[in-house]
Structure 1
Amino acid sequence: MSSFMRQWLWPIVLAMVTVFGLLAALVGEGGTWWALSWLLLAVPLLVIAKALSRRAD
């Protein structure tokens, strides 16, 4: 794996998850789409919380 991919893989994945979550919230009509958007938009927040908890140790 190249150094570019090693450095940027997870930020790109988190950006794509966020975009899909926003699109699900905007396009979706109903509970399933909204639940999917909440789930996808919570992923980056969980990653941030995990990174901060590791740093605090």
Structure 2
Amino acid sequence: MAKRFSLGLNVGVNNIFNTRFAQFVLINAVGFGGSEPRYFYPGNARNYYGGIRLQYRL
């Protein structure tokens, strides 16, 4: 019975050194509602993720 089950784990880190970077750059940016245009959007800070997989084989 135990041979029919399997378990998988995964974990990870994006931007492990928390480097500041531009995720998206707009060359001809336009402001909305009288605000200044945004020429770049900052990238994501460090973040973590993980998952668990449980499998049963018939």
Q: TM-score range by the shorter chain?
A: under 0.3
Greater share of residues in strand: 2
Q: Give TM-score scaled by structure 2 length.
A: 0.24
- Structure with the largest fraction of helix: 1
